[in-house]
Amino acid sequence: MKTVPNAKIGFSKAMQAGWIVMDKKAEGGPKVNKKADKIEDVIQKNLVKLQQDQTDSLTDEQKAEYKKRKLITEVKITSYEITKGDNFSLTIENQNGSWKTKNFKEYNFDALGIPPNGGHLHPLLKVRAAYRQIFLEMGFTEMPTNNFVESCFWNFDALFQPQQHPARDAHDTFFVSEPQVSDIKRVPPDYLQRVKRVHAEGGYGSQGYKVEWKTEEAEKNILRTHTTAVSARMLYKLAQQETFTPVKYFSIDRVFRNETTDATHLAEFHQIEGVVADYGLTLGNLMGIIEEFFKKLNITKLRFKPTYNPYTEPSMELFSYHEGLKKWVEIGNSGIFRPEMLLPMGLPEGVSVIAWGLSLERPTMIKYKIDDIRTLIGPKVDLQMVYDNPICRVEKH
Amino acid sequence: MPTIEVKKDLLFKALGREYSFEEFDELGFEFGLEAEEPEEEEILQNPDLANVWKIEIPANRYDLLCIEGMSRALLVFLEKKQCPRYKTVKPQKLQQMKILPATKQVRPLGVAAVLRNIKFTPDSYKSFIELQDKLHHNLCRRRTLVAIGTHDLDTIQGPFIYDAKPPADIKFKPLSQAKEFTAPEMMEMYSLDSHLKPYLPIIRDSPVYPVIYDRNNVVLSMPPIINGDHSKITLDTRNVFIESTATDLNKAKIVLDTIVTMFSEYCDQPFTVEPVEVTHSDGSVHLYPELPYRYEEVDVDDVNKNISADTMSNLLTKMCLKSEVLPGGVKIKVEIPPTRHDVIHPCDVIEDVAIAYGYNKIIKKIPATSTIADQFPVNKLTDLLRQEVACAGFTEVLTFALCSRDDVALKMRKNIKEANAVHIANPKTLEFQNMPLPLKLFEISDVMFCDKTKDVGARNERRLCAVNYNKSSGFEVMKGLLDRVMQLLEVPIVQSEHGYYIKSCKDATYFEGRCAEIIYNNSVIGKIGVLHPEVLKEFELTNPCSCMEFSIEPFL
């Protein structure tokens, strides 16, 4: 009884059908004996019939019992027979005139339609694409700015930014602990010496900073504080050409400042930068190209204010008249790179390099009326804002 | 850029007329200053502010860091005044300061000067103190490079000794204290002083501390921390001894020049300074302040080809730069006064010509430079793919390149050491928050890695990352996007060169059996999978999330 599965069910069913009999008084305990000579397993036969789709040959009681015993399950299959009707046709007739007699419910034309399924581009990157387009239209070549980790040498020293400059404090700059230093030996030694000399002793017409210049400061790694570090690398490369060729470069990429974040400041943001190197470029040329650049943004009221940047001289802050605020607002910075930066690189005398820069976040925030930058970038992004954002036509205000 | 606060009435008195804010703002704009009016709310809280303008000064113009210097420069700029001539006038007997060799261990350099027969007013006295604060903060780089001490000369007697002594041997009554303290006691006391606390580390661990005393062992100061109370200056002080100790001699000289040129204005004989004989630790003897007038020769053609040499020379006068056109008319000799230490190259002179001429009067001209533009290949590919991934129904987000160590490793069930990530020495904490459902997001951005083959030891890699966050994990949604991107890149799904496929792999970040490597051209370029439930928990996500990330650089 215990060795065969479902033996208990089989035993009770066989007893019920009178196939077997139990002798309870048998010697050595109850004993089961055969009673019927011949047995007919009706259930088995009926199940075979069902398998053969002869469903009508079973009584409803039988079906119910088998269902209860989970021997069968009931599945209803509905089928239809379709035949051609009176109006059968192989062509679509939409002008049967029925609309003439029917009443149509009025549409609510003020209701919104169903929003289309699709993805969205990020507003800041839409603006980035627009600025990129402007530079390309103006014949500027994009710089390879895909290196967030930069050595102090390229970020500061090559730009003639003194080693004691406050911008080089940990308060302002992220110092990298891994990899902590760059391989300063890969800066060509003669160039490194020229940079060292112009800082410490001067030269190229300069007084220098008259203070010891330390390689240990220059080799420290940081997260770049401006993309101008890449411009420096590019200009050095340009200076190594056999003959100088004029260039126009641009970049739009991330930079990092160790600032506490608030509604208008993040620890990382995008810098837009344009650089032109050629013989005899002047301040007037710089203002001219800046004016053309901003014309593409439909910003025509521009003013230039003297300012100080460690690596440009003259330096100019850019202001535009804000019609909404009814005042002049700062929109960027510019200048002519100092000879102390260019001449040690080996650029020919007489070549000037003019440059201007601005942030990508600020025009984006103004354009899309975003008052907290944290809803634009990072984990607190306002996705609804991203979903609803218009295309970026920078020339439209 | 440093900012100074000036009282309007004092400014108008110095400039000889009243200005409306707009008028002054306009003048400042031309000259390179940025003025700011107090907000109405600020005035409500503090009515005194109604009389104050904040003025932002270019960071290299130390001569404009006080109202004296700023008004002087503006008056010269407006051609209402001539730039004064700064002179040292030797007395019969020079004051002396001797620097002893022991200072080499901590702060080896020093300079000094005397302002004789000065008369302070409460305003000029305040300005004198504030200028020292501004210089300390900016040029002196929070007193690390240079520290200034000013003393009432009539309370002390030279010669002065600048020495360095073991802290326990230094004992004096510091400024504004009632009793004497030893140096270690002062360091202890000032560790609770928010103003002085930041300067303590400059000398704290040195075996000897700098100290200046007079012939009677009266302590003048323990630079760069605190002055002695004995020699403190007051409104009534008539003779000021100024010492400035440093690790950078050039900056110490600039600091001294700046203070004496600004405040000698209030001496009986204005703009004269009494020099002090300083014996350096190497035995060399120098007189300070040097008040140097040096010369630059500037090519007229380098300045501008449209205005005459004489015009340039006149313009330079407005910037406190005296000049003369040299015979032949092709060069201008420019005298750089001791107030203009920012001028270190002829290009600085050129800028001053431009400022005096007026930046906004310069004729603008587009450079003739003709060039053909080029896109940076990885950016070009990125922009093309961004459009297409958005067309495929994903929304672009922009995340920070900086993230916490926990986010990049621990929460992802990884060891930070395996992440090969670039580390920041001085991070700021960032907060993270959840976003609403359902989300199909992507980003194509750079990640940073350590890479020893690069000169800086790190490199960026451009990656495409996408997530699908919904009620079901939706691995097939991710795979669909991968297939679509590969279709766009014309990469067939075959297990051979130039094809791609995904292959089951184990990764602690992903749910087991739901993670695969993305293989292109026989190498792994990224991963695709369903995030591990513990990762979801760490980021406080309640629904399943499938994601993928791979480098797009192999497709360039």
SS3 A283: helix
CA distance A86 to A81: 16
- Min Cα–Cα distance to chain B from A371, Å: 17
Between the alpha carbon of residue B298 and those of residues A5, A209, A346, B301, the distances in Å are 111, 20, 22, 9
CA distance B317 to B311: 10
The strand order across the sheet containing B294-299 reads B294-299, B331-336, B322-325
- Min Cα–Cα distance to chain A from B518, Å: 23
Between the alpha carbon of residue B166 and those of residues A327, B210, B235, the distances in Å are 59, 9, 34
Between the alpha carbon of residue A198 and those of residues A93, A204, A254, A344, B270, the distances in Å are 89, 8, 29, 8, 37
pLDDT bracket for residue B433 (50, 70, 90): very low
Which of B396, B430, B452 has the CB atom closest to A120's CB atom?
B396
CA distance A113 to B272: 82
Task: Assess contact for B321 and B273: CB atoms under 8 A.
Answer: no
Per-residue pLDDT tens digits of chain A, which is 397 residues long: 566 778 888 888 888 888 888 888 877 777 888 888 888 888 888 888 888 888 788 888 888 888 888 888 888 889 999 999 887 878 776 667 777 888 888 888 888 888 788 899 999 999 999 999 999 999 999 999 999 999 999 999 999 999 988 788 777 899 998 889 999 999 999 999 999 999 999 999 999 999 899 999 999 999 999 999 999 999 999 999 999 999 999 999 999 998 888 888 888 999 999 999 999 999 999 999 999 999 998 888 999 999 999 899 999 999 998 877 788 889 999 999 999 999 999 999 999 999 999 999 988 888 788 888 888 888 778 888 888 888 888 877 6
- Min Cα–Cα distance to chain B from A31, Å: 56
Which residues of chain A are within 8 Å of residue B389 when distances are taken between CB atoms? 119
pLDDT bracket for residue B154 (50, 70, 90): very high
Report whether pLDDT(B430) > 70: no
Search chain B and give the residue with CA nearest A315: B351
Reported as type and span, the H/E element at residue A366 is helix A361-367
User: Cis peptide leading into B91, omega within 30 of 0?
Assistant: no
Report whether pLDDT(B435) > 60: no
- Min Cα–Cα distance to chain B from A308, Å: 5
The alpha-helical segments, DSSP class H, found in B104-248 are: 122-137, 183-190
- Residues paired with B500 in a beta bridge: B520
Which residues of chain A are within 8 Å of residue B456 when distances are taken between CB atoms? 147, 149-151, 179, 182-183, 221
Instruction: List strand residue ranges (DSSP E) for chain A, in order.
Output: 20-23, 31-34, 141-142, 149-151, 176-178, 221-223, 247-256, 268-279, 302-306, 312-322, 327-337, 351-359
Contact B347 A313 (CB under 8 A): yes
Search chain B and give the residue with CA nearest A306: B32
Which residues, other chains included, contact A268 with Cβ-Cβ below 8 Å and sequence gap of 6+? A223, A254, A255, A256, A257, B400, B401, B402
Q: Is B86 on the interface with A (CB under 8 A)?
A: no
Report whether pLDDT(B79) > 90: yes
Q: Is A99 on the interface with B (CB under 8 A)?
A: no
Q: Is B373 on the interface with A (CB under 8 A)?
A: yes
pLDDT value at position A145?
96
pLDDT value at position B432?
34
Nearest to B162 by CA among B71, B96, B115: B96
Reported as type and span, the H/E element at residue B315 is helix B309-317
Contact B392 A125 (CB under 8 A): no
A-contacting residues in B 279-308 (Cβ below 8 Å): 304
pLDDT value at position B44?
87
Name the percent of chain B lying above pLDDT 70: 96
- Average pLDDT over all residues of chain B: 91
- Min Cα–Cα distance to chain B from A107, Å: 30
Which residues of chain B are within 8 Å of residue A209 when distances are taken between CB atoms? 250, 344
- Min Cα–Cα distance to chain B from A109, Å: 27
Residue tagged 């997001």 (tokens):
B441
- Count how many Cα atoms sit within 13 Å of the Cα of residue B273 in the half-sphere of its side chain: 31
Tokens of B332: 């201008």
Residue tagged 């000169």 (tokens):
B455
Search chain A and give the residue with CA nearest B359: A304
Give per-residue burial for B96-132: e unless 16+ CB within 10 Å, then b. bbbbeebbeebbbbbbbbbbbebebeeebbebbeebb
CA distance A194 to B158: 44
A-contacting residues in B 43-62 (Cβ below 8 Å): 58-61
Report whether pLDDT(B431) > 50: no
pLDDT value at position A343?
96
Contact A314 B354 (CB under 8 A): yes
Report whether pLDDT(B242) > 70: yes
Report whether pLDDT(B465) > 90: yes
| N- to C-terminal Cα separation, chain B | 43
Report whether pLDDT(B107) > 70: yes
Mutation for A interface: B295, B364, B386, most A CBs within 10 A? B364
Task: Say how far residue B217 (Cα) sits from the centre of its chain.
Answer: 39
Contact B141 A307 (CB under 8 A): no
Nearest to B528 by CA among B541, B545, B553, B552: B545
Contact A118 B390 (CB under 8 A): yes
CA distance A191 to B353: 32
pLDDT value at position B429?
39
Search chain B and give the residue with CA nearest A199: B344
Task: Assess contact for A67 and A73: CB atoms under 8 A.
Answer: yes
Mutation for B interface: A134, A135, A137, A148, most B CBs within 10 A? A148
CA distance B447 to B440: 21
Search chain A and give the residue with CA nearest B247: A211
B-contacting residues in A 161-180 (Cβ below 8 Å): 164, 166, 169-170, 174-180
Task: Assess contact for B164 and B103: CB atoms under 8 A.
Answer: yes
pLDDT value at position B428?
43
A127-150 per-position pLDDT tens digit? 999 999 999 999 999 999 999 999
pLDDT value at position A93?
63
Higher pLDDT, A1 or B512: B512
Average pLDDT, integer, range B308-336: 93
Nearest to B6 by CA among B78, B59, B80, B70: B70
Between the alpha carbon of residue B529 and those of residues B149, B171, B413, B476, B522, the distances in Å are 66, 70, 15, 10, 19
Tokens of A195: 């940079």
- Residues paired with B146 in a beta bridge: B246
CA distance B524 to B531: 19
- Min Cα–Cα distance to chain B from A128, Å: 10
- Residue A19 sits at the vertex; the CA angle it makes with A13 and A21, to the nearest 5 degrees, is 95
- Min Cα–Cα distance to chain A from B96, Å: 25
Which of B366, B389, B395 has the CB atom closest to A386's CB atom?
B395
pTM: 0.84
Contact A164 B141 (CB under 8 A): yes
DSSP string across B36-81: EPPPHHHHHH-GGGGGEEEEE--TT-GGGSSHHHHHHHHHHHTTSS
Mutation for A interface: B345, B442, B446, most A CBs within 10 A? B345
Angle in degrees, 0-180, between the axes of helices B67-77 and B8-15, rounded to the nearest 10: 40
Which residues of chain B are within 8 Å of residue A143 when distances are taken between CB atoms? 376
Provide the total of helices (H) and of strands (E) in chain A, helices listed first: 12, 12
Report whether pLDDT(B421) > 80: no
- Min Cα–Cα distance to chain A from B61, Å: 9
Provide the total of helices (H) and of strands (E) in chain B, helices listed first: 14, 27
Which residues of chain B are within 8 Å of residue A321 when distances are taken between CB atoms? none
- Count how many Cα atoms sit within 13 Å of the Cα of residue B53 in the half-sphere of its side chain: 22
ipTM: 0.89
- Min Cα–Cα distance to chain B from A317, Å: 9
Between the alpha carbon of residue B535 and those of residues A82, B262, B406, B412, B477, the distances in Å are 56, 63, 11, 6, 20
A-contacting residues in B 488-517 (Cβ below 8 Å): none
Q: Is B460 on the interface with A (CB under 8 A)?
A: yes
B34-74 per-position pLDDT tens digit? 999 988 888 888 888 889 999 999 989 999 999 999 999 99
CA distance A51 to A44: 11
CA distance A303 to B50: 28
Task: Say how far residue A319 (Cα) sits from the centre of its chain.
Answer: 32
Contact A147 B456 (CB under 8 A): yes
Report whether pLDDT(B200) > 60: yes
Tokens of A341: 């930066």
B206-218 per-position pLDDT tens digit? 999 999 999 999 9
- Min Cα–Cα distance to chain A from B405, Å: 13
CA distance A310 to B24: 26
Q: Which amino acid is at B231?
A: S
Domains observed in chain A: 1-44 (1.10.10.2330), 123-388 (3.30.930.10)
The alpha-helical segments, DSSP class H, found in B138-276 are: 183-190, 249-263
Report whether pLDDT(B259) > 70: yes
In the A/B pair of chains, how many CB contacts fall below 8 A? Answer: 281
Average pLDDT, integer, range B161-188: 94
Contact B59 A147 (CB under 8 A): no
B-contacting residues in A 212-251 (Cβ below 8 Å): 221, 223, 246-248
